[in-house]
Amino acid sequence: MNRNTSRRIKLLALMLAVLALTVPALASSAEVTSGDFNTYAAGIGRGYDIGGHATMTRTADGKTLVNVHVSGLAANTSYGVHVHNKACNDANAGGHYLHDPAGPVDPYNEIWPVFTTNPAGIGNGKAVHAFRARPEAQAVVVHDTDGARIACADLTN
């Protein structure tokens, strides 16, 4: 083994050691909630059979990250996806979650992991915000192109 390879291995080992010590500390201070998507009656009536999952991570440093993976949708179509302020079976997940309840309805005050599906009808969305979502951020709803609620995932521990 030459000197450069030996140095690279030592550097990689050092980086892995730091990562091994850092990741558990970060993970233990984050709050992660997640759930599987279920098709609402309106979605079934439109011919959808939606699956997938949503994950919300509230970080220790005050950020909120939401990731969604949704299948069973129309190909090459943009969908509205929003975090809502109630559980899926409570008033169809209530209204959109607003970080500042008195603030505007926009992508900065709400959490919108929107996406456009691929040719197979699968969509992946991500939203990152510099605020920590309050507990009333309870579900992620997929809206059809006309705004109808077609699927929902409860965000639970």
List the 51-58 sheet strands across, edge first.
31-36, 51-58, 64-71, 123-129
What CATH number should be reported for the domain whose range is 30-154? 2.60.40.200
pLDDT at 12: 44
Which token pair is 111?
């959490």
Global pTM value: 0.81
What is the reported pLDDT for 21?
47
Looking at residue 42, its pLDDT comes to 97
Q: Is the CA virtual torsion 15, 21, 22, 23 positive or negative?
A: positive
Contacts of 54 (CB under 8 A, 6+ apart): 34, 35, 37, 66, 67, 68, 69, 113, 140, 153, 155
- For the chain (157 residues), the mean pLDDT of every run of 10, in chain order, is 57 45 57 98 98 98 98 98 98 97 94 97 98 97 98 96
- pLDDT at position 18: 43
Domain ranges for the chain, please list them.
30-154
pLDDT, residue 156, reads 96
